[in-house]
Structure 1
Amino acid sequence: MKAVVKIGGTLLENPEDRLRLAGHIGGLLRGGHQVLLVHGGGKQITAYLERSGVASHFVEGLRVTPAETLEGVIKVLAGTVNHQLLAALHRCGVAAVGISGIDAGCLVAQKLIGDQGQDWGFVGEVRQVNPRLWEVLLAAGLLPVLACLAVGDDAQIYNINADQAAVACAVHLRADCLVFLTDVDGVLDPRGQTIPHLTPEEFAALSRAGVATGGMLAKLRAAGDALTGNVSRVFIANGHRDDILQKIFAGWQDGIGTVLEFSALSGGFREGFCHSPHLPGH
């Protein structure tokens, strides 16, 4: 199976969690799977900026990234977080290569401007994806570990939302599945119970009821874009669970979080119900 696994920054804050996840990723590779790893780092960026005396500001869930913030974003994402994860993978016997979307022009972006003129600074939206470097690394038996930075045709470096970057990777690699590892047990219903399978109609109801909001709403919209881009399955699962990746890759359908499948879609996703204006066209 070819898969993109996105690990949220909250799962990478301490060495024990990094080693645990690295071990599970290594198990997938030894099982013959091809994986591209995408990581976040939002909490680590916020902590770094706080230590530097720079406040963090968010608009519609996206970090406002002026020049003084961008420098910290680059250092943390492509530096500290990426290399800490590489070190954990090395400890677990995984031959991994740390890259960002800037390398070989994997992710080419332009400045993101909101529909109502919102300006996030140096936050970009991906407009072109060049997967050749990822394909070369995977063919060589190496694990690409992607930090979510992109480059513009104006030579500007842009901060890219990690969920959106993971979707771009999955679509253009023609991945069989996309896995979002988070710190919660998938999408929860109003009673706090995990929804194992989600249809477009159920997604719409959750949105109207205000149950799926914030980061989870953004993940569901990203999942919709991945499915529309012909990624067969998207999983939203708790990365703190030791068995979660093994169960997902073994084909389990229950007890693994929330699964969204292309085969289950009605017209809702295809007609753009979940489409995010900040994701690249496919």
Structure 2
Amino acid sequence: MKKQTAMKSDWIATAQTLNAALPYLQRYDGATVVIKLGGHAMGSDEGMASFARDVVFMQQTGVNPVIVHGGGPQISAMLERLDIQSTFVRGKRVTDQATVEVVEMVLSGLINKRIVQAINAAGGGVVRAVGLSGKDANLMVCDQADPGLGFVGTPKEFNPEFLRSLHRAEIIPVIAPIGAGRNGETFNVNGDTAAGAIAASLRADRLLLLTDVAGVKNGAGDVVTELTPDQIRAMIEDGTIAGGMIPKVETALDAIEAGVRAVVILDGRAANACLLELYTDHGAGSLIRAAR
């Protein structure tokens, strides 16, 4: 009897949650949401399956999701296995010909297909995902970022209409941050940079940067739930935002300036992080958008 009572309580709580989510389901119907899945946020197979279910739920409730993924830790591990030595300039890896081949192999192959397979499995044959890189259909044409860094690219031209055609076909694109050069080169692109640029080209409603931290923190170490670009710049200036968080917030600022409605930096390791952000009052992580 107690078990039945507990189950009934759970069902009621679930129904109440769905009821409370209705305004947000309506709000994001037809919206384009770009999700950057960082290498550190991919976690276990169970975590990947949970992420995939979230993406399928989003698509089934009217959202047009675009997944852009990283894979820095996995690239480093493969380079070590292959005994390919890396050199660094100002803390950034020099991507020579041997390295860019490994980068493409890991990102476009191993990682990309793992995400695609997880989404397809969660979709039960109804929701489909397809794996791409920036080289496919000229999704992301790049110039060399810095000759001293080798085959590292800066995105310059995009093909957002191809991604929109996939959405019209109810297919979820999963994109590896590999760019096409104008002269046949292959370029490694920072995952956050690629996600921000693709979101801007789509004029996305949201860019979710899933990482391994809870969000942007203030001087006391607390996550700030909502920020404006001016507040971000001030926190960089006074040193509150430092280290690896700087390129993430710079990606956010560039995306907002280019027309993305809002950017959220959140912990991709947390269960149902995307759904909490989109469909609850509480949200998740740090939301960055222009002052109203």
In the TM superposition, residue 60 of structure 1 has moved relative to its aligned partner by 4.5
Aligned partner of 1:4 among 22, 29, 34: 34
Q: Return 44-53 or 126-135, whichever deviates more.
A: 126-135
Q: Secondary structure at the match of 1:126?
A: strand
2:252 paired with 1:223 = yes
In the TM superposition, residue 225 of structure 1 has moved relative to its aligned partner by 0.5
Q: Secondary structure at the match of 2:164?
A: helix
Aligned partner of 1:31 among 61, 67, 77: 61
CA distance in 1, matches of 2:170, 2:91: 36
Name the counterpart of 2:193.
164
Name the counterpart of 1:196.
225
CA distance in 1, matches of 2:101, 2:184: 15
Q: Secondary structure at the match of 1:36?
A: strand
In the TM superposition, residue 209 of structure 1 has moved relative to its aligned partner by 2.9
Name the counterpart of 2:25.
none
Q: What TM-score comes out, normalization by structure 1 length?
A: 0.87
2:130 paired with 1:100 = no
Name the counterpart of 2:209.
180
The residue type paired with residue 228 of structure 1 is E
In the TM superposition, residue 262 of structure 1 has moved relative to its aligned partner by 2.4
2:123 paired with 1:90 = no
- The answer to whether the Cα contact below 8 Å between 2:208 and 2:266 also exists between their aligned partners in 1 is yes
- The answer to whether the Cα contact below 8 Å between 1:150 and 1:159 also exists between their aligned partners in 2 is yes
Name the counterpart of 2:15.
none
Q: Structure 2 matches for 1:127-142, cutoff 5 A? A: 127-142=156-171
Q: Secondary structure at the match of 1:81?
A: helix
Aligned partner of 1:63 among 84, 87, 93: 93
Contiguous gaps of at least 5 residues in structure 1: 265-282
Contiguous gaps of at least 5 residues in structure 2: 1-30
Compared with structure 1, are the counterparts of its residues 60 and 215 closer, same or farther at alpha carbon in structure 2 (3 Å cutoff)?
farther
Q: Secondary structure at the match of 2:35?
A: strand
Q: Deviations over 1:146-198 (max 9, x none)?
A: 00001111100100111111111111112111110111110011221101111
- The answer to whether the Cα contact below 8 Å between 1:19 and 1:92 also exists between their aligned partners in 2 is yes
In the TM superposition, residue 13 of structure 1 has moved relative to its aligned partner by 4.3
Compare CA radii of gyration and give the structure with the larger one.
2
CA distance in 2, matches of 1:59, 1:162: 19
Q: What TM-score comes out, normalization by structure 2 length?
A: 0.84
Bigger helix fraction:
2
- The answer to whether the Cα contact below 8 Å between 2:228 and 2:290 also exists between their aligned partners in 1 is no
CA distance in 1, matches of 2:115, 2:142: 25
Aligned sequence identity (%): 36
The residue type paired with residue 278 of structure 2 is F
CA distance in 2, matches of 1:214, 1:66: 25
- The answer to whether the Cα contact below 8 Å between 2:42 and 2:268 also exists between their aligned partners in 1 is no
Query: Moved runs in structure 1, 4+ residues, more than 4 A?
Result: none
Q: What do you get for the CA RMSD once the two structures are aligned?
A: 1.6
Q: Return 225-234 or 88-97, whichever deviates more.
A: 88-97
- The answer to whether the Cα contact below 8 Å between 2:142 and 2:187 also exists between their aligned partners in 1 is yes
In the TM superposition, residue 120 of structure 1 has moved relative to its aligned partner by 0.7
2:286 paired with 1:258 = yes
Q: Secondary structure at the match of 1:256?
A: coil
